[in-house]
Structure 1
Amino acid sequence: MTAPGSPDGGTPSPGPDALEDQFAQWRHYVRRRPELQRADAEELEDHLRGSVDELIAAGLRPDEAFLVAVKRLGGLDELSREFAREHSERLWKQLVLTGGADDPETGNRSRRDLIAMIVCAVGAAVSVKLPELFGLGFQQDGAFYAPNFALFTLPWLAAYLAWRRRAGRALIGVMVALFALGAVAANAYSLAEDSQSLVLTTIHLPIALWFVVGLAYVSDDLRSSRRRMDFIRFTGECFVYFVLIALGGGVLTAFTVGTFQAIGIDPEGFVSEWLLPCGVVAAVVVAGWLVEAKQSVVENIAPVLTRLFTPLFTAALLAFLVAIVWTTAGINVEREALILFDLLLVVVLGLLLYSISARDPLAPPGLFDRLQLALVVSALIIDVLVLWAITERITEYGTTPNKAAALGENVILLANLAWSAWLMLGFIRRRTPFAALERWQTGYLPVYAGWAWVVVLLFPPLFSYL
């Protein structure tokens, strides 16, 4: 007896739901192309569906028909270039900040978004100056501003995204509660300026609150793996925009200070007390707005960045491992070294996440995927060595907040990198679909958020506020 849906008695062919999942992946990727408007994507999908139907009628299984039809349709890069040649004015329209000049509805929405962004950016700038009403100065009270700085800007960015996504009241209530919890964690404990717990809170609270921003970003579909991957992409693009704004603002500030000093006016007090703090918190909101307004413009930088830095970091990590073997030197696990190694592993993870978010999920494995596997395996080995050194240090001298935080973070990264390497190996060997790697990374995001909250809320009392 043959299996249902399998004319040759072999493996049952995927059902309609599996085929629709493939179409959904293809549609999601196509709509990220800057040259293709929605109508273009819908036209291409109609052609693709027609081709799939013809191939199924000819006797192919649905999944085989889909792959053949996509191959016949052609590479998206080629399609994008063709549409760009035929509609070159679209690229210029994307660079206009207000956008939608030929579409009144789009133009009105863009203007509303612009107004909402300005309100939120001004709100962030005002928030960072409010503590001065209570006698706290930006330069004099670093122990207050350091852990609280994210609270002056991220709630406003979350408010903008929640407004744009039309988030429900229940979700807004959850976000308000989490930001309030962050404010309590930053201010309820009496921590000295040289306290390790203060440094850990300053580092981990922005991470915890950034995932609250993520709730606002995916509020239209909280359970969607694709929306979580979009948030990963949003994070990378927001960082790129923020760096560009910071570089431009730094040049402008330097020219402003120089020109005013030339006429005998010293603006350094204004720069340090007003321009710098207000500009930084407002720039975060502006960067988020730019990503939303120009989603497909900076997005094209992702493949360039990952393909540039992945080989460089792979070479650096392999050279480091060779040096350890050659010199038989142990890893220093003092505070600065722990921060350095954790940052290195986070950068590797960031490269992996950003490359996954920018990759065509339907493309077959290639040389770059093997290079990424080498990067992840190298980082995994270094993580094991660091964990070994931390464990020895704790066993010999006891634990501290820094070592405990580093231990937990390295265990979390170890689990992620180990399973990521396994999934990447399966994908390269064509035994695991690329979607499995995407689901693993997006499903692991709450682990990072949970650990950040643990460090912020529990570490100070656990370690007697050291």
Structure 2
Amino acid sequence: MDINNLIIENMADPHELERMYRKDPKAFKKSFSQAWEQNPDSHILRVWYERLHFRETANTEKSLFLQKGFFIMGMLAILAGISTRIIFYFVEQEAIAPINLAFGIIPFIAAYFVYNNTPKKSIIYSLAALFLITGVYLNMLPLNYKDSIILVYLHVPVFLWVLAGLAFTGNEYSKGSTRLAYIKFNLEFGILYTSMAVSGMVLAALTMQLFSFIGLDIEDFYFSNVVLFGAAALAIVAIYLVSMNLKLAKNITPYIAKIFSPLVLITLLVYLITVIWVGKNPFLDRNFLIVFNGILLGILAITIFSITESESDEKKNISHYINFALIALALIIDSVALSAIVFRLSTLGVTPNRVAVLGVNILIWANLIWIMLSYMRYLQNKSGPSDIQDAITKYLPVYGLWAAFVIFLFPALFN
């Protein structure tokens, strides 16, 4: 019995029609037209006709959008590659700081977001002005490696990331759901870009090996031109692919969150027990305090990663309790680090590094308290997951403001 007869036979059985479609979509679509012609009065087949027809229309519209978006993406990718290569030339000449390489990529990412969202002119002008002011200011600073200048270099990417977020959210910059979408976008972008970069590294290694067989050493030229250009252009390509709802990154991020959260929790618990056992003291050991703060930032990133990948209608399960345990652990680590920094400030004096680390730890501590309280209410069925997401998304501008404070005021305060 062919599929056409099966479609007619099961017109009154939506479940069976769905099963047939999923088993062999191409054969189902091919045979459906005959069944539709023979039974034009069937309401079930009418729904299926609209479903299949709508999908074809949507795909046609999407393909037209892809053509236009692809051209814009290609142009921005080429400009990002060229700009990065030009900036790298001046970095090699030691005329500007290496952090300027960020301006070869992030402004073009923001430009693609603006093209996709078309925000109000005031937002576009603000973004252009902030990028320009930051770039000019950065290169007016002394080209040295004093603590206050290094702190500026470390905070510039954070500030530019927040500016890119403003471009992404556009007119909806105040909405928590749009900010959450930006965080998810970054996670998917990171996974996709890393996958593509690994493939590029394999290609680069193979290319250099092939040229070495004929006695040519192209390593310096290849890395300074092809690899650098490709790394910058690839960022725009990855942004474009994620914005086109590429299923690879979207499908894998929830699984990564569920796998890594318990592994990170177990690893950190073992690490902290070992630290206590061997008697490491962050109050006296500066290097250990730096590692401690690195661990804190890692936990915060993993926690946010896990929370944002949780579905809003997902039932409470072990993953939620693991997330809560990670938040509690991060709060303990931050409290210890905060105490150690205050101790070092009071006993060893004020330095740019200590003030910066103190500020970051206070911000993270307040953010963790907010997230933990929201999560506690959620686990007690006193609120929904939206409160947890608000604790994350509404706090993002605070990090941007702190980064701006360090960038624009620290060099003057600690001259």
For structure 2, the 5+ residue unaligned runs are 1-17, 27-54
Find the counterpart in structure 1 of residue 39 from structure 2. none
Match of residue 12 from structure 2: none
Q: Which residues in structure 2 correspond to 1:264-343 (within 5 Å)?
A: 264-331=215-282, 337-343=288-294
Q: Would the aligned equivalents of 2:189 and 2:249 in 1 still touch at CA under 8 Å?
A: no
* Corresponding residue SS for 1:218: helix
Q: Which amino acid aligns with 1:284?
A: A
- Give the residue type in structure 2 aligned to 1:203: L
Determine if contact 2:192/2:238 at 8 Å carries over to the other structure. yes
Q: Is the 8 A contact 2:87 2:100 kept in 1?
A: no
Distance change >3 Å, CA 342–CA 288, structure 1 → 2? farther
Which of residues 299, 304, 323 in structure 2 aligns to 1:372?
A: 323
Q: 1:83 to 1:213 in 2, by over 3 A?
A: farther
Q: Does 1:120 align with 2:57?
A: no
Quote the offset at 1:291 in angstroms: 0.9
Distance apart, 1:116 and its partner CA: 0.7
Write out per-residue CA displacement over residues 42-81 of structure 1, whole angstroms, 9 at most, x where no aligned residue. Answer: xxxxxxxxxxxxxxxxxxxxxxxxxxxxxxxxxxxxxxx9
Hey, what's the Cα distance between the residues in 1 that align with 2:405 and 2:331? Answer: 24
What residue is the counterpart of 1:254 in the other structure? 205
CA RMSD of aligned residues (A): 2.5
AA in 2 matched with 1:161: F
- Residues 283 and 343 of structure 2 are in contact (CA less than 8 Å); yes or no, is this contact kept in structure 1? no
Q: Which residue of 2 aligns with 1:235?
A: 186
Residues 361-440 of structure 1 correspond to what in structure 2 (within 5 A)? Answer: 361-440=312-391
**Structure 1 residues 335 and 219 mapped into 2: Cα distance closer, same or farther (>3 Å)?**
farther
1:190 aligns with 2:156: no
Instruction: Provide the C-alpha distance between the structure 2 equivalents of 1:224 and 1:289, rounded to a whole number of angstroms.
Output: 23
String of CA shifts for 1:305-355, please: whole Å, max 9, x gaps.
111111111112222332344344311676654553333222222222222
Match of 1:105 in 2: 61
Report if the CA contact (8 A) 2:96-2:143 is conserved.
Answer: no
Counterpart CA distance in 2 for 1:146 and 1:222 is 30
How many residues align? The count is 371
More divergent stretch after superposition (333-342 vs 168-177): 333-342
More helix by share: 2
Q: 1:237 touches 1:291 (CA, 8 Å); kept in 2?
A: yes
In 1, Cα distance between equivalents of 2:90 and 2:108: 22
Name the CA distance, whole Å, in 2 between partners of 1:339 and 1:173: 39
Report the more deviating stretch, 229-238 or 310-319: 310-319
The answer to whether the Cα contact below 8 Å between 2:87 and 2:101 also exists between their aligned partners in 1 is: no
Alpha-carbon separation, structure 2, partners of 1:330 and 1:158: 43
C-alpha contact (below 8 Å) 2:159/2:404 kept by paired residues: yes
User: How many angstroms does 1:371 deviate by?
Assistant: 1.0
Q: 1:279 to 1:138 in 2, by over 3 A?
A: farther
TM-score (norm 2): 0.83
Compute the TM-score of the two structures, normalised by the length of structure 1.
0.74
Conservation of the 8 A alpha-carbon contact between 1:161 and 1:216 = yes
How far has the Cα of 1:233 moved from its partner? 0.2
For 1:317 and 1:213, the matched residues in 2 are separated by 32
- Structure 1: runs of 5 or more not aligned: 1-80, 90-98
Q: Is residue 121–residue 286 contact of structure 1 (8 Å, CA) maintained in 2?
A: yes
CA distance in 2, matches of 1:350, 1:376: 11
Shift of 1:168: 2.3
Equivalent position amino acid for 1:165 in 2: N
In 2: Cα distance, 1:398 partner to 1:345 partner: 24
Change (3 A) 1:398 1:124: same
Q: Name the CA distance, whole Å, in 1 between partners of 2:20 and 2:414.
A: 60
Give the one of 388, 397, 402 matched to 1:446.
397
- Identity in percent: 29
393-402 or 378-387: bigger deviation: 393-402
Could you tell me how far apart the structure 2 residues matched to 1:269 and 1:422 are? 53
Q: Please tell me whether the aligned partners of residues 147 and 186 of structure 1 are also in contact (alpha carbons under 8 angstroms).
A: no
Query: 1:438 Cα shift?
Result: 0.9
In structure 2, what is the equivalent of residue 180 of structure 1? 132
What does residue 99 of structure 2 align with? 147
Residue 379 to residue 304, structure 1, CA distance change in 2 (3 Å): same
Cα distance, 1:145 vs. partner?
A: 4.1
Distance in 1 separating the partners of 2:96 and 2:125 = 26
Verify: 1:211 aligned to 2:162, yes or no.
Answer: yes
**Alpha-carbon distance in structure 2 between the residues aligned to 1:427 and 1:411:** 24
Q: Is the 8 A contact 1:338 1:406 kept in 2?
A: no
C-alpha separation in 2, matches of 1:333 and 1:438: 37
Compared with structure 1, are the counterparts of its residues 140 and 130 closer, same or farther at alpha carbon in structure 2 (3 Å cutoff)? closer
Q: Tell me, in whole angstroms, the C-alpha distance in 2 between the residues paired with 1:390 and 1:254.
A: 44
- How many Å separate the matches in 2 of 1:126 and 1:335? 41
